[in-house]
Amino acid sequence: MKRRTIKDIAKESGFSLSTVSLVLNNHPRISQATRDRVMAVVKKYNFFPNSAARGLASKSSKTLSVVVPNLTRVFSDIYLGELISGIYERATSQGYKILLDIATSQFIKTQEYTKLLASRRADGMLFIASDIHADYLGVFEDSPYKFLLVNHVFPGKKLNYVSVDYAASARTAAEHLLGLGHRKIGLIAGTNTFTGLQFRDEFLRTCKTWPAGAAQVAWVDGGEEWSQRGGYAAAAKLMAQTPDLTAIMAANDRMAIGAMRWLADNRREVPEAVSVMGVDDIQLAAYVNPGLSTVRHDLYQVGIESCNRILQLIKGEITECSDLLPTSLVVRGSTDRARGSK
């Protein structure tokens, strides 16, 4: 089976090279009759135009680079699944393919992130792997490359982003707990990302300035991985140093569930003794017992929107982007009025 080219199709169909090309690109220039005759031949040979040639001539690869974090178990993170599904769905619908990369140290060191765009292997890059040490991303400030941080922000650097509004999220969570009368709260924070820091700071601020009376917040770091295990350990630490707190807020659901586990293992009733609240609204949040109150982050939507934006950047429809998507409160059984509050 010989490899066909557009030339063969032209010859066989009796039209010119250009005509075939125009047909293949759905150019309105071509009449339906011609289109049909050409397509018949295309179908007959099951022909697909060579994408390298196409890319070379058109100066576009129709490819998006997606960079995910270098966590060994990265794909076990529901977080990524939602995000990538959203990106994939939108990219595909626009005829774009996805080039997957993992932000390994190798990837960073060889500046693969630049290379991908400089070599035009990808038209744009969606970066899901940022943390507070990702200074190398500075190359994308004011660069001609199309770059977007997904569900991350980088204060101090002029980088495009689409993210959930972590500060708003913190406010929502804090207000929920404060409204329930909690005045001694433990916070399990994630401090290795800027969004994590934003969340922590806004949570603290909201508690400190609550009109009905400021709340004391003791916070600990839940660990780099924001994992259930980290949450478990963090809860232990919090309860040891502040035994009388009435609520634990965790920066994500996994840590919250870890905390609930510790409380269960140590005979503290949730929510009677301690209320627990998370962030994200992962599937599991609804299944634990009691159900976890949380702030819903629609990561699928973030994926969709991120992809929309990077495509607009590529097309030149916009030149920068800093979207913050809304979040919403989800109340389940794990939070209730603080004990001792009326």
Partner DNA sequence: ATCTTTAGGTAAATCGCTCGACAAGGCAAG
Partner DNA sequence: CTTGCCTTGTCGAGCGATTTACCTAAAGAT
Choose from its own copies, DNA, none: what does 98 bind? Cβ within 5-8 Å by kind: its own copies
Size of the site for DNA (CB under 7 A): 27
Q: What angle do CA 172, 86, 176 make, to 5 degrees?
A: 10
Q: Does 140 bind its own copies (CB under 8 A)?
A: no
For residue 217, which phi and psi values (nearest 5 degrees)? -125, 125
Choose from its own copies, DNA, none: what does 22 bind? Cβ within 5-8 Å by kind: DNA
- Which of 28/95 has CB closer to its own copies? 95
Element (H, E) at 229: helix 228-241
Size of the site for its own copies (CB under 8 A): 46
Q: Does 61 bind its own copies (CB under 8 A)?
A: yes
Choose from its own copies, DNA, none: what does 39 bind? Cβ within 5-8 Å by kind: none
Supply 255's token pair: 């840590």
Q: Does 43 bind its own copies (CB under 8 A)?
A: no
Choose from DNA, its own copies, none: what does 24 bind? Cβ within 5-8 Å by kind: DNA
Supply 162's token pair: 């689409």
Residue 282 per-residue DSSP state: -
With CB under 8 A as the contact rule, the residue among 17, 18, 27, 53 that binds its own copies is: 53
Stretch that binds DNA, among 19-27, 72-80, 108-116, 217-225 (CB under 7 A): 19-27
Could you tell me the maximum CA-CA distance found in the chain, to the nearest angstrom?
87
With CB under 7 A as the contact rule, the residue among 12, 30, 61, 165 that binds DNA is: 30
Choose from DNA, its own copies, none: what does 185 bind? Cβ within 5-8 Å by kind: none
Per-residue interface string for the shown chain with DNA, residues 53-72, x marking contact by CB under 7 A: xx-xxxx-------------
Q: Does 16 bind its own copies (CB under 8 A)?
A: no
Q: What angle do CA 297, 299, 300 make, to 5 degrees?
A: 135
List Cβ neighbours of 294 (8 Å cut-off, separation of 6 or more): 253, 256, 277, 278, 279, 280, 281, 285, 330, 332
Sheet holding 216-221: strands in order across?
216-221, 184-189, 247-250, 275-280, 293-296, 328-330
Q: Does 102 bind its own copies (CB under 8 A)?
A: yes
